[in-house]
Structure 1
Amino acid sequence: MVGSLNMDLVARAPRLPKPGETLAGHAFAQVPGGKGGNQAVAAARLGAQVAMLGCIGDDPNGATLRQGLEAESIDCTALGTSASPTGVALIIVDDGSQNAIVIVAGSNADVTPATIAGNETLLATADVIVCQLETPPDTVRAALAAGRRLGKTTILNPAPAANALPDDWFALVDYLIPNELEAATLSGIEIATPDDARRAAVALRQKGARNVIVTLGSQGVFALLGDGAGEHIGAPTVQAVDTTAAGDTFIGGFAAELARGRPVPAAIAFGQRAAAVAVTREGAQPSIPHRSEIAE
């Protein structure tokens, strides 16, 4: 896993505030997070052997994040420490289980292409390399390029996606996994329905991604695999409490199943079942289930 580690500061409120508005919240929690950390924990709990390549600050938040990863038996030999403060995410969750998030990168910005080059021996031992966009773009590209050069399966979760990706990234990606907002940003196609997701996925495959899986929340996923026509796969029906780590849980479960050699459709279905459990619980990493909790 190449990616970010944040301490999440989570407030629950009746609804998301409007610009300039102050709302009274009714709960607060401080929990380990960051898309890289969340996906690493998800993959580990869901059956994979995981190594984390990232950076934390030399501060209490960083120590807590490292201890949390080690408690999940995640290899932290490539987890660096910098003088920058550990990254944080400010999260508001409303009573409808939707969220709004502001991220301050902190030490995540200190993961550089040189970090990737210095850990290529570790990357060579991986079956699957997973990246997100909460570390510097040059670093993400270096990790994907290393994965392609080493013959590894590469997964890119393009989150957060504020702009289109450079064209030369797509050929480095085996599985591009955006949500509907990220897919819209990358493709220029607004997404409200699974058919919209199909059109966006086709556009992203034409840019060079080998496979595109657009996650659609409660509507499931649209999977465009290889040269196929694509398929909309509905999500399990559950009562959601907090959707914060749903996408990260899906990606961790999907990656874990790929690493086990499972067929892609089975890996997608497993990731969906894991995410369905996660949304019934509060928090990011605390919500992520273990493999024993997922129905086969």
Structure 2
Amino acid sequence: WPGAESVLSLDMLAPVVVAADDWVFTSGYTLSYPKSRDALTDWIEALPADTPLVLDPTPVITDIPHPILSRILARTTWLSCNTTEAAAIAGPGAVETLASRLLSDHSPKAVGVVIRAGAKGCHVRLADGSAQTIAGFEVAALDTNGAGDTHIGAFVSALARGMPPFAAAHYANAAAAIAVTRHGGSSAPTDHEIQTFLSHGGPQIGLHGQKQEAKRPTA
């Protein structure tokens, strides 16, 4: 249910100080709220040019007015969405086509895009044209609530620590795999738990459903 984030104003955002090494994340939910989206969009556009912005359009993407979404996408550094959300922005197509279209037609200043596919992993495409499909992990899922949030948080934390994008996506896939084995939305694992999970290896599930041997992708 909407809370304080549904009634944002520029005066409320003014005390938020962004440091040189900070990352900014915004959710499609906040952008969908009529009493928040204009102020948040203005605040984002006023950020320093070198401040990375991460966008998750979320399942309410169709509730975000097109002009607002276009302005945010134009400022986005990393876009992380699921396959349904990607298609809502870029139209139908294979995941590789969607990723390319998202960057060239919608987020021209972005470093890259991540298209999540649940247990099957994610597809990552960078602005330089390089791309990899990073397989997910086979686990006994109990509750998928919060898996996407965990994936984005782990991915950004890895990037912020200097991890290359494809390796960061592998790390994020592991974090999401751990999260779905726990009940509740607040189930993100610690770095130690993720590293322990990765050190044990295990079967991975690719975007097309096939099992693969677990291995760390190259950068």
TM-score, structure 1 normalization: 0.57
Native 8 Å contact 1:133 1:140 kept in 2: no
Question: Which letter does structure 2 place at the counterpart of 1:276?
Answer: A
Deviation of the 1:272 alpha carbon: 1.0
Deviation of the 1:249 alpha carbon: 0.4
Matches within 5 A, 1:1-296: 104-119=1-16, 122-135=17-30, 136-147=36-47, 149-159=48-58, 160-162=60-62, 163=64, 164=66, 166-189=69-92, 196-209=94-107, 210=110, 211-285=112-186, 287-295=187-195, 296=198
In structure 2, what is the Cα distance between the partners aligned to 1:261 and 1:142?
29
Deviation of the 1:230 alpha carbon: 2.1
Larger Rg: 1
> Is the partner of 2:182 in helix, strand or coil?
coil
Deviation of the 1:185 alpha carbon: 1.2
In structure 1, what is the Cα distance between the partners aligned to 2:39 and 2:181?
34
Q: C-alpha root-mean-square deviation of aligned residues, in Å?
A: 2.0
> Is the partner of 2:100 in helix, strand or coil?
helix
Count the aligned residue pairs. 184
> Is the partner of 1:282 in helix, strand or coil?
coil
In structure 2, what is the Cα distance between the partners aligned to 1:284 and 1:177?
18
Write out per-residue CA displacement over residues 18-44 of structure 1, whole angstroms, 9 at most, x where no aligned residue: xxxxxxxxxxxxxxxxxxxxxxxxxxx
Consecutive unaligned residues in structure 2, runs of 5 or more? 31-35, 199-219
TM-score, structure 2 normalization: 0.76
Deviation of the 1:143 alpha carbon: 4.2
Write out per-residue CA displacement over residues 91-148 of structure 1, whole angstroms, 9 at most, x where no aligned residue: xxxxxxxxxxxxx3132212223333332xx21354211111222322442343234x
Deviation of the 1:187 alpha carbon: 1.3
> Is the partner of 2:29 in helix, strand or coil?
coil
In structure 1, what is the Cα distance between the partners aligned to 2:40 and 2:81?
15
In structure 1, what is the Cα distance between the partners aligned to 2:29 and 2:61?
9
In structure 2, what is the Cα distance between the partners aligned to 1:184 and 1:280?
28
* More displaced stretch, 248-257 vs 201-210: 201-210
Are residues 125 and 229 of structure 1, via their aligned partners in 2, closer, same or farther at CA, if it must alter by over 3 Å?
A: closer
Aligned sequence identity (%): 30
Are residues 152 and 207 of structure 1, via their aligned partners in 2, closer, same or farther at CA, if it must alter by over 3 Å?
A: same
Write out per-residue CA displacement over residues 2-27 of structure 1, whole angstroms, 9 at most, x where no aligned residue: xxxxxxxxxxxxxxxxxxxxxxxxxx
Are residues 270 and 238 of structure 1, via their aligned partners in 2, closer, same or farther at CA, if it must alter by over 3 Å?
A: same
